[in-house]
Structure 1
Amino acid sequence: MLKHEIELLARAFDKRVRNAIFNSEIAGSLAERYPKGCCGDVSVAFGHCLEKHGYDNIIYVLDETNHAWLNVGEIVVDITCPQFDEIDDLVVAEDSFWHSQRCIKKTVPFQEYDNRSTNERLRIFLKYI
């Protein structure tokens, strides 16, 4: 049940961002590249979405290539992983082979990466939680 609820939230968030791009509410290079190059900001914004819906134990994971995603307990949540050729859909899974093969550089509570005061891209994504 938990995984299913998180997946519904992730898909809804991703859809709101994609609709905002389609409607030119998000423009420029961010719109042209999404989901590439914005994994950190998307992860932090979605962490706030999860927190808003009552989830806790939300961990920001950063790998050696600087790709970021969230772990919610044992659940991997990666909205931007379709930027990689071998993945064609976002990931919400208790066991993700692709993520388990990544060399983890850092894991911290997602709030430690909340730099919205200096990060315009994060402020943009926070509008869609």
Structure 2
Amino acid sequence: MKLLDDVQKFREMIVALIASEVAVRTMNFKASFPNGQCLNASQMLAKYLSENGCENVQVMSGTCPKLGSHAWVEVGKLIVDITADQYEKFGYPSVFIGENSRLHSNFSVKPSFQQTVGGDLVQTYLQVLKFENITCT
């Protein structure tokens, strides 16, 4: 499945950036990913998928009194989340793709008001792309 491959590759690129000495300007991105970086990661993932031919890509966000806020990408009817593993009690993998989700159903969901990569996140995205040809093992 091309979508799964592209999403896993992008997550690996982020992990490679975090392990590197490359500095980024997005506040706490390298220090806390995936925790608290779901919107930043989702915006970058949406851009990456769109640039690689994916259609119907949208950043979604939601809130839940017990879990706080969370953001992820939807591709058509599929939930695509590269930061779901921050919710340890749900036992999600580092890359989740599916139509239904016990975690995501907890949030009051709407399209994020921040669909695009802007500001310091542009620089972070460009740094992530530098790791495109590096494979994490």
Matches within 5 A, 1:1-129: 4-26=1-23, 29-64=28-63, 65-85=68-88, 86-89=90-93, 90-104=95-109, 106-107=110-111, 112-116=114-118, 118=119, 120-129=120-129
**1:15-49 deviations in Å (ceiling 9; x for gaps):** 11111111222468322211111111111111111
Asked if the contact 1:60/1:107 (under 8 Å) is kept, the reply is: yes
Number of corresponding residues: 121
Gaps of 5+ in 1: none
Aligned-pair CA distance for 1:5:
1.6
% identical equivalent positions? 21
Structure 2-normalised TM-score?
0.76
Runs of 4+ residues deviating >4 angstroms = none
Larger % of helix: which? 1
CA RMSD of aligned residues (A): 2.2
